[in-house]
Chains A and B, each alone.
Chain A
Amino acid sequence: MNPVKAFNHLFSPLGGTEADNYRTPGQLSFLRAPFVPVFGDELKEAECNYAYIGVPFDEGNVGKPGCEDGPREFRVASLDYFPYWFEFNVDLNGSVVDCGDISMPRVNPEVARERIYNAVKFALDAGKTPIICGGDRSISIPAAKALSDHLGASKKMGYMHLGAHLDFADSWAGESNVSTCAMARITELPNLAAENVSHIGARNSFNPKDHIDLARSRQVRFHPMVEVLERGVGEVMDETIERVWGGTDGQYLSFNFNVMDSSVAPGVTATETGGLESREIMQIASRLGETGGPSIIDVTELCPMFDVSGSTSRMAVCVVLRIMAGIAKLNGDTLDESLRRPGWTHN
């Protein structure tokens, strides 16, 4: 682990002088962050803004299997990034701890959801922004409930989701908490008004009529992909950020990377054609970074076994880190321009 408050980790070869392989740090953690258990006082005392929490849960999934490997692959992909971001001149080292994966029971989704709720609630109460990596889309249901309860009845919450599917099934084969029901359950939270909900990127026909009908009856504004293409991501993001961040006390930012075109994100549970290009998601990430910190970020449905060259997970990590870097810059956490690698010059 690089010493916090020192700057060696900004420079080649990423701290120290040994040129150890930065891709194999010994212990696997998100961005080489220290491990801090989610329950207990240590997280509260840790001087960090973010708590990475893995949720290897695949039992709310109606698509192809494999997203329980998402949290681990997300960590692996994060090793291909450094804490320094030249585009923002910021240092993310020390800004995050890794809380490990929530222990998931087998064949007991009720207990699993309870554990997800407890872990996320605890991290929020400890004052951290949880970065939750699923797991299937259904994990957003207990996680959003945790934010809702954390804020309390007197506070207002915003919710933004980027994905190809509306997930507005009131129930699915009799189940009401699976991935396709995520938006239906979340929009029932008491302190989340429809005017503070946004959904971006819906397209193609895994969006049955009852999903559209329920979304409309609850007056949820969703921006289908055709609208994004027509208006451009900049304009849509301006409108949607205003809705989710405007007048709210806490915001839930949720990514299902099937919002991306299948050429950009082959490694997700339900690939969809006609989605975003990678420069568009980076534009969105930069725009979100300029907006300021959400209360929770979640990434669901990464499906590494279907990925190509590890690129989808890398993109997901890149999006999250870009948001974090943008927020750091917004908060004035930029580095001194004169800081240089100690002991040598370039010429």
Chain B
Amino acid sequence: MSTQSCNPWKFVPYQHQGPHQETEVDAHVRSPTKHNGPVKAGGIITFMGAPYCPPDREKIKEMGAKVCFLGAPWDLSTIVRTGTSSGPQGIRDASTQYFPYMFEYDVDLMTFFNVVDCGDIPIVPGNSAKSQQYMVDYVSECLEGGARVILVGGDHSVPIPGARALSNHLALHRPQAKMGYLHIDCHLDAAVDWGGIEITNASGPPMALKLPNCSGENMAHMGSRNGLNPKDWMDFWIDNEIPIVPMSEVVEKGVDECTRFIFDRASRDTETIYCSWDTDSIDHSCMPGTSCPESYGLKSREALQIARIAGEYDVGVFEIAELSPVFDTSQISTKLACNLIYHYLGSRARALRARGETP
């Protein structure tokens, strides 16, 4: 191991190390020979067992990371119940039960993307503005380091700083270019303000619309249903002529057609997409571990299909929000959320390979 430590992917990831560490470079894609593999012994728990990298652009460049996992353990901008601050740790924990190799795509995600875990963004209790500024800073560092970001909330205010960071990054390098913004959620989340506050977990889309390089033409919403959607939220989408695909339409037309519709819209003449995905878009039977478990949602097979389709598009920041492990049972929610990321990455790897490109 010592001879290979100059390249972090040339040693066996933490989760796959045995008492007498196996040293083959690709040991992590095969059944373990000397210990119980990833399933029981987590070791130092990182997402996917990936090496830790400080959220610093130079370090990220140095390591050649193309995907940064970044946790945003922030749940104090929420208008519903808290608990989502444990979301990032929930996904990391669930990921200990998976191998980075995915047979469906015949890819080792770890080495294909040089995945790193950049840890959690520091937050300031009781101070949304400051915490969100840290989120902008940290996501920006990862983007400037040349990586795409898997951002895990946290409550659904996370897209506010997340999309701002992507917007800043784009404006800096491609001043004329545009970005798309997608919101997959049970809720319409279009409170221009909530009692005067503009940065709650119900305001992602209106804040995205304010970004200089994001227009309504490249925005869309999917999965809305049920009665936790005040009228002004609906009016936002109507008045700005941005389409929503309510759950009834997803059931009627099928998830494939609806997902391609929103991603086509977000990618039309844009450079990159911010994909904000609230776990409560998924049915409560598959996703009890969320702040607002709602019936009439996506089945897990449909959610995974959305993740696969997302992988075919140019998503700069792929965000999972409102995962709340404290309300979960038997890890069904955290493992599904983890799989959304794995299948997104697997599909993206397949799409890149098909085009003869690298991350």
Contact A264 B81 (CB under 8 A): no
Known: A81-B226, A82-B227, A308-B288. A11 touches B232 (CB 8 A): yes
Render A1-23 as a binary contact track against B, CB cut-off 8 A, 1 for contact.
00000000011111001111111
- B292 part of interface (Cβ distance < 8 Å): yes
Known: A282-B295, A311-B295, A347-B240. A19 touches B230 (CB 8 A): no
- A261 part of interface (Cβ distance < 8 Å): yes
Contact B284 A314 (CB under 8 A): yes
Which B-chain residue is minimally distant from A85 (CB atoms)? B227
Contact A10 B294 (CB under 8 A): no
Nearest-Cβ distance from residue A339 to partner chain B, whole angstroms: 7
Give the one of A17, A19, A92 with max B CB within 10 A.
A19
Q: Which residues on the B side are within 8 Å of A344 (C-beta)?
A: 192
Contact B239 A346 (CB under 8 A): yes
Interface segment among B107-115, B195-203, B311-319: the answer is B195-203
Known: A318-B294, A318-B295. A339 touches B231 (CB 8 A): yes
- A249 part of interface (Cβ distance < 8 Å): no
- B264 part of interface (Cβ distance < 8 Å): no
Partner of B232, one of A18, A23, A340: A340
Known: A81-B227, A82-B230. A315 touches B248 (CB 8 A): no
Contact B297 A278 (CB under 8 A): yes
Nearest-Cβ distance from residue A160 to partner chain B, whole angstroms: 20
Q: Which residues on the A side are within 8 Å of B324 (C-beta)?
A: 309
Q: Which residues on the A side are within 8 Å of B236 (C-beta)?
A: 346
Q: Which residues on the B side are within 8 Å of A322 (C-beta)?
A: 226-227
Partner of B283, one of A12, A17, A18, A278: A278
Q: Which residues on the B side are within 8 Å of A314 (C-beta)?
A: 284, 293-295
Nearest-Cβ distance from residue B231 to partner chain A, whole angstroms: 4
Bound complex: CA of A14 vs CA of B226, how far in Å?
16
Which B-chain residue is minimally distant from A285 (CB atoms)? B296
Render A318-347 as a binary contact track against B, CB cut-off 8 A, 1 for contact.
110110010000000001000111001111
Q: Which residues on the B side are within 8 Å of A341 (C-beta)?
A: 231-232, 235
Contact A321 B227 (CB under 8 A): yes
Interface size bracket, B side: 35 or more
Q: Is the interface of A mostly helix, strand, loop or mixed?
A: loop
- A84 part of interface (Cβ distance < 8 Å): yes
Q: Which residues on the A side are within 8 Å of B172 (C-beta)?
A: none
Contact A311 B284 (CB under 8 A): yes
Contact B239 A278 (CB under 8 A): no
- A207 part of interface (Cβ distance < 8 Å): no
Contact A13 B284 (CB under 8 A): no
Bound complex: CA of A345 vs CA of B239, how far in Å?
9
| Chain B 211-249 interface residues, beta-carbon cutoff 8 Å to A | 224-236, 239-240, 246-248
Give the one of B235, B286, B327 with max A CB within 10 A.
B235
Q: Which residues on the B side are within 8 Å of A41 (C-beta)?
A: none
- A281 part of interface (Cβ distance < 8 Å): yes
Partner of B295, one of A17, A85, A87, A281: A281
| Chain A 255-282 interface residues, beta-carbon cutoff 8 Å to B | 261, 263-264, 266, 277-279, 281-282
Q: Which residues on the A side are within 8 Å of B246 (C-beta)?
A: 87
- B261 part of interface (Cβ distance < 8 Å): no
Which A-chain residue is minimally distant from B288 (CB atoms)? A309
Which B-chain residue is minimally distant from A261 (CB atoms)? B285
Bound complex: CA of A340 vs CA of B238, how far in Å?
11
For chain A, the count of residues having a C-beta within 8 Å of the partner chain is: 49
- B129 part of interface (Cβ distance < 8 Å): no
| Chain A 64-106 interface residues, beta-carbon cutoff 8 Å to B | 80-87, 92
Q: Which residues on the A side are within 8 Å of B251 (C-beta)?
A: 279
Render A277-303 as a binary contact track against B, CB cut-off 8 A, 1 for contact.
111011000000000000000000000
Contact B80 A86 (CB under 8 A): no
Contact A23 B80 (CB under 8 A): yes
Bound complex: CA of A14 vs CA of B195, how far in Å?
9
| Chain B 295-309 interface residues, beta-carbon cutoff 8 Å to A | 295-297, 299
- A310 part of interface (Cβ distance < 8 Å): yes
Bound complex: CA of A195 vs CA of B101, how far in Å?
59
Q: Which residues on the A side are within 8 Å of B196 (C-beta)?
A: 17, 19
Contact B295 A309 (CB under 8 A): no
Bound complex: CA of A205 vs CA of B229, how far in Å?
41
Nearest-Cβ distance from residue B229 to partner chain A, whole angstroms: 5
Bound complex: CA of A181 vs CA of B345, how far in Å?
54
Q: Which residues on the B side are within 8 Å of A278 (C-beta)?
A: 283-285, 295-297
Known A12-B191, A322-B226; 11 more pairs at CB < 8 Å = A82-B227, A82-B229, A83-B227, A84-B231, A85-B227, A86-B188, A278-B284, A279-B251, A282-B225, A282-B296, A318-B294
A/B interface sample: 20 pairs, CB < 8 A = A12-B192, A13-B191, A19-B195, A23-B81, A81-B228, A83-B227, A86-B233, A92-B227, A279-B283, A310-B327, A311-B285, A311-B295, A318-B295, A319-B295, A322-B226, A325-B227, A340-B232, A340-B235, A344-B192, A346-B235
Chain A contacts to B: CB under 8 angstroms:
10-14, 17-23, 80-87, 92, 261, 263-264, 266, 277-279, 281-282, 308-311, 314-315, 318-319, 321-322, 325, 335, 339-341, 344-347
